[in-house]
Amino acid sequence: MPADEIPGFWAVVPAGGAGTRLWPLSRSGSPKFLHDLTGSGRSLLEQTRDRLAPIVGDRLVVVTGTAHRDAVRRQLHELPEDGVIAEPSARDSMAAIGLAAAFLEQRGAEVMGSFAADHVIADDAVFASAVADAVAAARDGWLVTIGIEPTFASSAFGYIHQGDTLDGHPGVRTVVEFVEKPSVPVAEEYLATGSYRWNAGMFVVRPSVLLDLLAEQDPEFAANLRAIAAEPDRLPELWEKLPRIAIDHAIAEPAAAAGKVATVPGAFGWDDVGDFDSLAGLLGEQEDVTVLGDDALAQVIGSSGIVVPGSGRMVAVVGLDDVVVVDTPDALLVTTRARAQEVKNIVSALKDQGRTDLT
Amino acid sequence: MPADEIPGFWAVVPAGGAGTRLWPLSRSGSPKFLHDLTGSGRSLLEQTRDRLAPIVGDRLVVVTGTAHRDAVRRQLHELPEDGVIAEPSARDSMAAIGLAAAFLEQRGAEVMGSFAADHVIADDAVFASAVADAVAAARDGWLVTIGIEPTFASSAFGYIHQGDTLDGHPGVRTVVEFVEKPSVPVAEEYLATGSYRWNAGMFVVRPSVLLDLLAEQDPEFAANLRAIAAEPDRLPELWEKLPRIAIDHAIAEPAAAAGKVATVPGAFGWDDVGDFDSLAGLLGEQEDVTVLGDDALAQVIGSSGIVVPGSGRMVAVVGLDDVVVVDTPDALLVTTRARAQEVKNIVSALKDQGRTDLT
């Protein structure tokens, strides 16, 4: 069943982050949202657009770095000129989403929702239904976040502590507070209560509500964003004055404390594809090797994990469990799912050695 | 102390065998003896020549396949025209060494010794001393084998069961029998006796004694070898008539049963570099990763084993113990030292798939 389009609702897609734990596939020059990491034939960015299109039609804005503007346009060629907002430099999520909010406020958008370009969602229909509930609450002035049903006690995500059901919105709960990434034992306690959700950074809100919430915390920040939207030529000048802060800290946490945040519990199968362990879990069976790419380029004996033959060369793997082998034309990674987080340390080491050609 | 040259002594170097367990470094078109597997800057073949040169001077003959004749000449450019014997096809070690013996008999060589082109020896001086003892016994008519002091209960080698000391040759023992590759428990029993040595296929013997021993078992085989030596033009015709049999079965075992074989115990550090486990043990410390090649092309975190960055690409390894990573321009191998023997199954699978370009 295709989702219904939601009138007056705009999607904002922040497309940033190098995804260093997915090196050597993901590079600063070619970050993960540009890659087909699921073997679907579409990049994560294209999948995000495809997921949102039924809900928003052509009301979609991508916020990305200047370096990636052309690549984004190549993948989403239907985007109009003002469908891509290029950040002169990376200034964290408040500036990125806030700038989109300011432009959308200017254009008279009723409600906006921010959805990262590099997440994977299994059930688009359930996702669309959650978004519809979130938009309905956002129209009533709430800052609404979609809370992901946790599938295990992860220490890699922040959590949303949900409260009571919102009056008039049966599928929506108030947010008691946002909590930072917990330890695994604390996460286990969260899961046992049934009242905690993963914070996936999906915020649905009226653009003016978002900017007004920001203005309560940092009036100059909000004023500068609105000034850029009014006079886009001032972007280069004003952008560098914007604080580097995550939207969670800038507005979501103080707004939750003030009782202005709601959440829609979402159970649509979500993954942020944070590292190769996550990717392997997303794609494959535990007992086998999943080949992301051309099967004919992998020769596997008695192994499990994930193999990415990405250079055209033959990749042979013998007798390794939960292995991660990623072959690209200029760099090769061999690790295990359990150690996949440490791949970022390889990237750091290469940067320290001046090998920016590889990072 | 440089070894003394041994007058009238010729070295025969059989250079054959694809070394499939060292794939993708070793290929049928480029077998392991042509490779620098120890990071010494010299191939195994060149190291073999360097080890023998002080003993034999220029009295060295390489027996290799037609396909490798030019590569052997490129590496050992000092060899005269008749210093390389090219086999029209692979017919096992009796034909290869027997043909060299027939040519050397023709040329009046007093004693010959066969030493594989793809073995590694740690102490050349101790090796030379063992060879000198073997040559002395061979001059008295014995078929002499150099028996390697076992360093562990290997099931990968045949063993030499040694008997009493030879009269007049204090460093030489009689051979009771040759035994096939044993199980590990049997090998442990062998080691406990102190009377067993690894059979490394090093035979030192008068050429005519070798051919006469063969004639006792298979007169036609010996006659055909001598016919080729007398009329080299008949090589293509007669070669295909020669049986495919190992020298151990053809003459060493029956000669031992007849009390005609002696052995010189050798403790010079020997390795046949049979697979990547053997190579890793030969090159490195157990706790670390050994890089065979350019260190700057390996980024390693919390791992041990062996990494061969052979394509110019960066190789990153994170969190794997006893790992084997071999990177070449057209194929990549990832395995563990414990499973390194199974690499030959990858080669078989590739051949079955018609990928002779990779094998």
What ipTM was predicted for this assembly?
0.88
Residues of A in contact with B355 (CB under 8 A): 314
Q: Closest-CA residue in chain A for B343?
A: A318
* Residue recorded with tokens 């015709």: B237
Domain CATH for A148: 3.90.550.10
Whether A304 contacts A288, CB under 8 Å: yes
Reduce the DSSP state of residue A69 to 3 states and report it: helix
Reduce the DSSP state of residue A334 to 3 states and report it: strand
**Residue B1 placed within a domain:** no
| Domain identity same for B220 and B323 | no
pLDDT given at position B19: 84
* Residue recorded with tokens 């890699």: A156
Report the gap between the CA of B305 and the closest CA in chain A (Å): 12
| Domain identity same for B219 and B261 | yes
**Residue B2 placed within a domain:** no
The rounded distance, in Å, linking the Cα atoms of A277 and A300 is 19
**Helices of type H across chain A:** 44-56, 69-75, 92-106, 124-139, 184-193, 207-217, 219-230, 235-239, 247, 253-257, 276-283, 343-352
Average pLDDT taken over every residue of chain B? 95
Report the gap between the CA of A37 and the closest CA in chain B (Å): 20
Other CB atoms within 10 A of residue B236 CB: 11
Query: With an 8 Å Cβ cutoff, are A314 and B301 in contact?
Result: no
Query: With an 8 Å Cβ cutoff, are B331 and A345 in contact?
Result: no
Compute CA A356 distance to the chain's CA centroid, rounded to the nearest angstrom: 25
The rounded distance, in Å, linking the Cα atoms of B272 and B299 is 29
| Domain identity same for B292 and B230 | no
| Domain identity same for A101 and A167 | yes
Report the gap between the CA of A2 and the closest CA in chain B (Å): 44
pLDDT given at position A91: 93
Q: How buried is residue A236: exposed, middle or buried, by Cβ count under 10 Å (0-12/13-18/19+)? A: exposed
- Count Cβ–Cβ pairs < 8 Å, chain A vs chain B: 126
**Residue A258 placed within a domain:** yes
Domain count, chain A: 2
The rounded distance, in Å, linking the Cα atoms of B239 and B334 is 40
Q: Closest-CA residue in chain A for B21?
A: A318
Sheet holding B323-327, edge to edge: A298-301, A314-318, B331-336, B323-327, B305-309, B289-291
Query: With an 8 Å Cβ cutoff, are B323 and A334 in contact?
Result: yes
**Residue A1 placed within a domain:** no
Whether B89 contacts B240, CB under 8 Å: yes
**Long-range contacts of the stretch B31-37 (C-beta < 8 A, 24+):** B31/B68, B31/B118, B32/B118, B32/B273, B33/B116, B33/B117, B33/B118, B34/B68, B34/B71, B34/B72, B34/B75, B37/B120, B37/B273, B37/B279, B37/B292
Residues of chain A under the 50 pLDDT cut? none
pLDDT given at position A225: 98
**Residue A107 placed within a domain:** yes
Sheet holding A305-309, edge to edge: A289-291, A305-309, A323-327, A331-336, B314-318, B298-301
Percent of chain B with pLDDT over 70: 99
pLDDT given at position B39: 87
Mean pLDDT value across residues B37-49: 94
Quick one: residue A103, left, alpha or beta (phi over 0 = left, psi -120 to 50 = alpha)?
alpha
* Residue recorded with tokens 């079955």: B352
The rounded distance, in Å, linking the Cα atoms of B45 and B31 is 10
| Domain identity same for B124 and B178 | yes
Percent of chain B with pLDDT over 90: 92
Report the gap between the CA of A320 and the closest CA in chain B (Å): 6
Query: With an 8 Å Cβ cutoff, are B334 and A329 in contact?
Result: no
Buried b (16+ CB within 10 A) or exposed e, B270-292: bbbbbbbbbbbbbbbeeeebbbb
Buried b (16+ CB within 10 A) or exposed e, B87-120: beebbbbbbbbbbbbbbbbeeebbbbbbbbbbbb
Mean pLDDT value across residues B25-35: 93
Residues of A in contact with B350 (CB under 8 A): 299, 314
**The two structure tokens encoding residue A36:** 């087909």
| Domain identity same for B60 and B74 | yes
| Domain identity same for B97 and B215 | yes
Q: Among residues B124, B121, B126, B146, which one has the least CA distance to residue B135?
A: B146
| Domain identity same for B152 and B267 | yes
**Helices of type H across B158-303:** 184-193, 207-217, 219-230, 235-239, 247, 253-257, 276-283
Query: With an 8 Å Cβ cutoff, are B332 and A332 in contact?
Result: yes
Mean pLDDT value across residues B139-157: 95
The residues of A whose Cβ lies within 8 A of any Cβ of B are 23-24, 299, 301-302, 311, 313-320, 323, 325, 327-336, 338-340, 342-343, 345-346, 349-350, 355, 358
Report the gap between the CA of B27 and the closest CA in chain A (Å): 14
**Residue B312 placed within a domain:** yes
**Residue after which a domain boundary falls, among A241, A271, A301:** A271
Compute CA B188 distance to the chain's CA centroid, rounded to the nearest angstrom: 24
pLDDT given at position B3: 73
Our CA dihedral for A321, A326, A331, A333, rounded to 10 degrees, sits at -30
Query: With an 8 Å Cβ cutoff, are A334 and B313 in contact?
Result: no
| Domain identity same for A216 and A341 | no
**Residue after which a domain boundary falls, among A242, A271, A300:** A271
The rounded distance, in Å, linking the Cα atoms of B43 and B75 is 8
Mean pLDDT value across residues B157-170: 95
Q: What is the DSSP letter of B3?
A: P
**Residue A3 placed within a domain:** no
Tens-digit pLDDT profile for residues A46-102: 999 999 999 999 999 999 999 999 999 999 999 999 999 999 999 999 999 999 999
Enclosing H/E stretch for A333: strand A331-336
List the beta bridge partners of residue B61. B12
The rounded distance, in Å, linking the Cα atoms of A22 and B128 is 54
Across the interface, of A327, A339, A350, the residue whose CB is closest to B318 is A339
pLDDT given at position B2: 58
Mean pLDDT value across residues B314-329: 97
Mean pLDDT value across residues B282-307: 92
Q: Which domain, by its residues, includes A106?
A: 9-271
The residues of B whose Cβ lies within 8 A of any Cβ of A are 23-24, 299, 301-302, 311, 313-320, 323, 325, 327-336, 338-340, 342-343, 345-346, 349-350, 355, 358
**Residue A104 placed within a domain:** yes
pLDDT given at position B299: 97
Mean pLDDT value across residues B194-216: 97
Q: At what angle do helices B219-230 and B92-106 cross, to 10 degrees?
A: 50
The rounded distance, in Å, linking the Cα atoms of A309 and A294 is 7
Pairing assessment for the beta strands B289-291 and B305-309 based on DSSP bridges: parallel
For chain A, the farthest-separated pair of C-alpha atoms sits apart, in whole angstroms, at: 62
Mean pLDDT value across residues B333-353: 96
Please say if the pLDDT value at position B15 is more than 60.
yes
| Domain identity same for A20 and A148 | yes
Q: What is the DSSP letter of B259?
A: T
**Residue after which a domain boundary falls, among B271, B295, B314:** B271
| Domain identity same for A172 and A45 | yes
| Domain identity same for A314 and A293 | yes
pLDDT given at position B1: 52
Q: Among residues A315, A308, A309, which one has the least CA distance to residue A283?
A: A308
Q: What is the DSSP letter of A154?
A: -
Query: With an 8 Å Cβ cutoff, are B342 and A313 in contact?
Result: no
For chain B, the farthest-separated pair of C-alpha atoms sits apart, in whole angstroms, at: 62
